[in-house]
Amino acid sequence: MHDFKTTDDLLPHPHVERFFAQVDRICAAGDDAPPLFPDLIDRLIADGIVASAVFWCCELGQTTLLARSPDWQLPLPHPLPDLLSQTAVGAAASIVLNAPDASETATVGQRIATVYRGGSEALLILDAMVQPAASPAALRQRQELLEGFAELAGNRWVRDRFEALSLRRDPRDPRQAMLDLVVDESKSIDEATRELANLLLNATDVDRVSLLQYQAGATRLLALAPAGKIDRKSVLVRQLTSLVTQVAAGDGTLAYSMGLPSDDAPQESLLQFIDEAESRQVEVQMDQSRLQANPTAIVLERFTVDPASMSRDRGLALQALPVLRHLVDQHDSGFRRLLNRVRHASPARNAAIASLVGVVMLLALLCIPSDFWIPVDGHLHPVASRGVFAPGEGVIDSLYVVDGAVVAEGDKLLSIRDPQLELRGSELDGQIATLKSQLASAQAARGQGVRDASRTRSGDLSAQEQDLEMQLAGLQRQRELVSKHRQQLDVASPLAGTVQRWDMERELRDRPVAHGQHLLDVIDADSAWELRLDVPDHLIGYVLAAPQDNPLPVEFRIRSAPQDVMPAVVRQIAESSQVDAQGQTSVLVAAGIDDEALHDPRIGAGVVARIYCGRRSLAFVWFRELIEFCQRSFYF
């Protein structure tokens, strides 16, 4: 990697990538590598990022110089700007500071301060100077590079700090145990706060330690030591939370010792708590930096007055406050924080929030449009298909085809024998033969010139002949009707196609059938397929009211293959309703299908479909059934 002069303006992207690769290599080096921070400063200057720089660290209010370039003489800005002092843990931020005059220092240029926060009270500060001739774009580029550089160096710095602490661990030092609580994220909030309370109890000379959190005008007890079951409804806990709430409304601190002089008169809540807890010395410490944003609190109690240990115990409580704040922030975030705020808010505020949320949701449901689909059931059929039904009652006498047979239009499929019809035909044949014989006798008698004694006898013979002819004509007409009906019992194919009835031999041969009974189907497998959807009568209005500019889309699944969703479009809507076997009224809707979407379709296969009926409000789409129930039940 070649060195760049600091007079260069914007650094090229490959140069920046090589620079960060070198920084990452330096930060990943082991303990036998050169000193970390001087090596990092040399890298910054050699790659033309800055002209000079210095590393500081600030821990627990103490500032330490880590490394600097030879010509650096500027002091650390104090106090740090708000943007830098409020940096989030594990992140870096930078700001351009006013550059000093040449009379104050030999280093002249534009100054950039970058801070990396490694903990609640641990800062790594990089103070750098770039050339005054740098353009605003170059200055901004250097600022972004220094932020990324500070994060890499800060991560290594935090790792070195914890390794150093682990090498000189003192089990008697409570601060080491506090650091363990900060690092260990496996414990729940109850376990971590309970361990912190016991840690403070063992490290101090107090008799009871309470950890609390103030939030949304109320105080919540987190842990209590000596360990015991927390009865949040007990009088003692209520008095304790009331005391902390009162302290949070003030300056956030309270120190009371019975019998010792005090500048402030004890508050009513303090007196009630002391009377209930039987304490003689009470110390309340709250997180001053977060006093207006849900602070945490530590309460120390003694049953005897001991002024000598008050200062040391107060110091340990102040050191434990950031740890408690970290534990609460780590576990009490996101949705849980919102729930806690709602739980601790007043009933009136919760009711107002709930009402507002309800109104907003209702308006959103009424104003946001959504696609409106209605669910229907149906079956799959080819367009060129006909059902064959029994033309009359009888017994199937002959089957001329089998399942899968290919037939032409008019080919005979089966014949039905009606015993009553055959009996009637035989009776008519006998009656016709008898009348023909009588008519022949009458005609023969009249033709041979047989004469009676009177004219009346001759007239009677002519009238008898006419009567026989009329009876014969009536019987012959009846015989023609019987013959025509008999011919109709020979069932022919209504179209050219394939016979569909797999159990034909078992269910049809020599079986009695009723008039209109379905016998079989003849389909043209080469024709298109369609959906025959049964739309309930109370839903057909949505289909008719939908925009008809284009065919209505349909989506359906075959019940035997529900994993595939296939499209279709409405082609025809029946003009009348029909009643099914269950007595439900429905309207038949035919929908066309893309034949390429079907794989080995079966005639009559059941489908579950939905028909697009335009766009309606989200409230109507979600609560349609409830709206329809109200419309049916509360008819005016």
> Read out DSSP for 392-406?
SSEEEEEE---TT-E
The pLDDT value recorded for residue 72 is 81
CA geometry: angle at 41 spanning 148 and 140, to 5°? 40
Q: Are 85 and 61 in contact (CB under 8 A)?
A: no
Q: Averaged over 585-612, what is the pLDDT?
A: 86
428-437, 550-559, 609-618: lowest mean pLDDT where? 428-437
Domain boundary among 117, 139, 167: 167
499 and 536 assigned to the same domain: no
Read off the CATH number of the domain in which 163 is found. 3.30.450.40
Domain boundary among 139, 167, 195: 167
User: Within a domain: residue 390?
Assistant: yes
Q: Are 449 and 458 in contact (CB under 8 A)?
A: no
User: Within a domain: residue 343?
Assistant: no
112 and 247 assigned to the same domain: no
What is the C-alpha separation between 353 and 319, in angstroms, rounded?
38
Domain boundary among 167, 196, 212: 167
What is the C-alpha separation between 425 and 482, in angstroms, rounded?
6
304 and 182 assigned to the same domain: yes
pLDDT of residue 1 exceeding 50: no
pLDDT of residue 103 exceeding 60: no
Question: Tens of pLDDT along 406-415?
Answer: 999 889 999 9
User: Within a domain: residue 453?
Assistant: yes
Q: In the chain, what is the straight-line distance between the N-terminal and C-terminal CA atoms, in Å?
A: 87
pLDDT of residue 106 exceeding 60: no
The pLDDT value recorded for residue 102 is 38
Q: Are strands 512-513 and 385-389 parallel, antiparallel or unpaired?
A: unpaired
- Counting the structural domains of the chain, the total is 4
What is the C-alpha separation between 218 and 225, in angstroms, rounded?
21
Q: At what angle do helices 189-203 and 310-331 cross, to 10 degrees?
A: 170
604 and 472 assigned to the same domain: no
163 and 179 assigned to the same domain: no
pLDDT band at residue 263 under the 50/70/90 scheme: low
The pLDDT value recorded for residue 293 is 65
Read off the CATH number of the domain in which 560 is found. 2.40.30.170
CA-nearest of 113, 110, 142, 204 to 4 is: 142
Share of the chain above pLDDT 70, in %: 85
Asked if the peptide bond before residue 79 counts as cis, ω within 30 degrees of 0, the response is yes
154 and 26 assigned to the same domain: yes
Q: Averaged over 36-49, what is the pLDDT?
A: 88
Mention every residue, 6+ apart, whose C-beta is less than 8 A from residue 445: 461
Beta bridge partners of 396: 416
323 and 471 assigned to the same domain: no
512 and 541 assigned to the same domain: no
The pLDDT value recorded for residue 481 is 85
28 and 79 assigned to the same domain: yes
pLDDT of residue 582 exceeding 80: no
Instruction: State which residues form the domain around 554.
Output: 528-635
CA-nearest of 184, 241, 204 to 320 is: 204
Read off the CATH number of the domain in which 301 is found. 3.30.450.80
Q: Are 140 and 146 in contact (CB under 8 A)?
A: no
CA-nearest of 207, 208, 263, 288 to 240 is: 208
297 and 188 assigned to the same domain: yes
| Mean pLDDT value across the chain | 81
The pLDDT value recorded for residue 2 is 42
pLDDT band at residue 179 under the 50/70/90 scheme: confident
What is the C-alpha separation between 613 and 629, in angstroms, rounded?
20
SS3 per-residue string spanning 57-117 = EEECCEEEEEEECCCCCCCCCCCCCHHHHCCCECCEEEEEECCCCCCCCCCCCEEEEEEEE
186 and 250 assigned to the same domain: yes
Q: Averaged over 266-285, what is the pLDDT?
A: 84
Does residue 310 sit in helix, strand or coil?
helix
User: Within a domain: residue 617?
Assistant: yes
The pLDDT value recorded for residue 596 is 76
User: Within a domain: residue 8?
Assistant: no
Q: Are 113 and 99 in contact (CB under 8 A)?
A: no
pLDDT band at residue 7 under the 50/70/90 scheme: very low
Q: At what angle do helices 174-183 and 136-167 cross, to 10 degrees?
A: 120
User: Within a domain: residue 125?
Assistant: yes
Residue, of 518 and 465, whose pLDDT is higher = 518
Q: What is the pTM of this model?
A: 0.41
User: Within a domain: residue 310?
Assistant: yes
Length of the chain counted residue by residue = 636
Q: Averaged over 177-191, what is the pLDDT?
A: 77
211 and 83 assigned to the same domain: no
User: Within a domain: residue 364?
Assistant: no
What is the C-alpha separation between 242 and 244, in angstroms, rounded?
6
pLDDT of residue 532 exceeding 60: yes
Does residue 269 sit in helix, strand or coil?
helix
Which CB contacts under 8 angstroms, 24+ apart, belong to 93-97?
A: 93/147, 94/143, 94/146, 94/147, 94/150, 96/139, 96/143
Q: Averaged over 513-524, what is the pLDDT?
A: 88
